[in-house]
Amino acid sequence: MKKITIAIDGFSSCGKSTMAKDLAREVGYIHIDSGAMYRAVTLYAMEHGMIEGSVIDVPRLEADMANIRITFELNEVTKLPETYLNGVNVESRIRTMEVSERVSLIAELGFVRQAMVALQQAMGEQKGIVMDGRDIGTTVFPNAELKIFVTASAEVRAERRYKELQEKGEHADYEQILQNVKQRDYIDRHREVSPLRRANDALLLDNTHLTREQQDAWLKEQFLLRVKE
Ligand code: DC
């Protein structure tokens, strides 16, 4: 079977990473959550005092980009890749509300996007990869053999993130999460560099009323069609 590249884009919290992870595990592909990379840069900026409220010290961050090393390592127990920032596991720290509330500001900086896209393209050189994000099918891998654009209602997405945080034992406020989801949708769609949009050749998947199993089965079917071509 030939190896292909799979690009999964869409709105925040619509289950892109879950479906990407499930497929990658099943077919033995690498899964990269590109949002985790923007989150790691945000965490770095926060921990180095480069973000005050909603103001970023852009010149300092730009000068420091070469010192930000983002890698993924497989957790031997869960068999899932986890995000490392300069050699330190930051997988849970990048998922907090503090990071979620600031990451859009970082993700709209051209020099950050340039650095992340270069890293993502290098990770995908050998194919056999499922990458999820906002600009994977349009900018990172415009030649991907399979592109999916995922949507779901903002309310359903907020509900999913709320449950996710609760299950981890973290403080969660549904209304605050819903506002965050809507605000990020707006920023993702309207930013100047690589705004979120469906690639012309991407398949549209609205999973508002789909279970994880139904979604996984649909994706696997699309995958099999492409590798047999
Ligand atoms: O998928 P996520 O919620 O973890 O993404 C975090 C943020 O990163 C989100 O606000 C949008 C941004 N992002 C992006 O701009 N481009 C990507 N390819 C992935 C994420």
- Residue 103 belongs to domain with CATH number: 3.40.50.300
Q: Please indicate whether residue 157, judged by its CB atom, sits closer than 6 Å to ligand 1.
A: no
Provide mean pLDDT across the span 143-171.
92
Please, what's the largest Cα pairwise distance for the chain? 51
Query: How many CA within 13 A on the CB side of residue 110?
Result: 3
Q: Which of 34, 93, 116, 192 to mutate to test the pocket of ligand 1 (most atoms within 8 A of CB)?
A: 34
Provide mean pLDDT across the span 53-76.
95
What is the gyration radius of the CA atoms in the chain, in angstroms?
Answer: 17
Provide mean pLDDT across the span 125-129.
95
Rounded to whole angstroms, how far apart are CA atoms 152 and 19?
14
213's CB contacts (< 8 A; 6+ apart) are: none
- Fill in the amino acid letter for 211: T
Provide mean pLDDT across the span 67-76.
94
Provide mean pLDDT across the span 49-65.
96
What SS3 class is residue 165? Answer: helix
How many domains does the structure of the chain reveal? 1
pLDDT in tens, 200-229: 999 999 999 999 999 999 999 999 999 987
pLDDT at 112 over 90: yes
Rounded to whole angstroms, how far apart are CA atoms 3 and 10?
23
Work out which ligand 1 atom sits closest to the CA atom of 116.
18
Rounded to whole angstroms, how far apart are CA atoms 197 and 214?
24
Give this prediction's pTM: 0.92
Work out which ligand 1 atom sits closest to the CA atom of 184.
10
Residue 13 pLDDT: 85
Share of the chain above pLDDT 70, in %: 100
Q: Phi and psi dihedrals of 55, rounded to 5?
A: -105, 125
Q: How far is CA 11 from the centre of its chain?
A: 10
Residue 165 pLDDT: 86
Instruction: Say if residue 100 is exposed, middle or buried (CB neighbours under 10 Å; 0-12, 13-18, 19+).
Output: buried
Q: Please indicate whether residue 39, judged by its CB atom, sits closer than 6 Å to ligand 1.
A: yes
Ligand 1 geometric centre to CA of 83 (Å): 14
Residue 67 pLDDT: 96
What is the domain range of residue 219?
Answer: 5-227
Residue 121 pLDDT: 98
Residue 4 pLDDT: 97
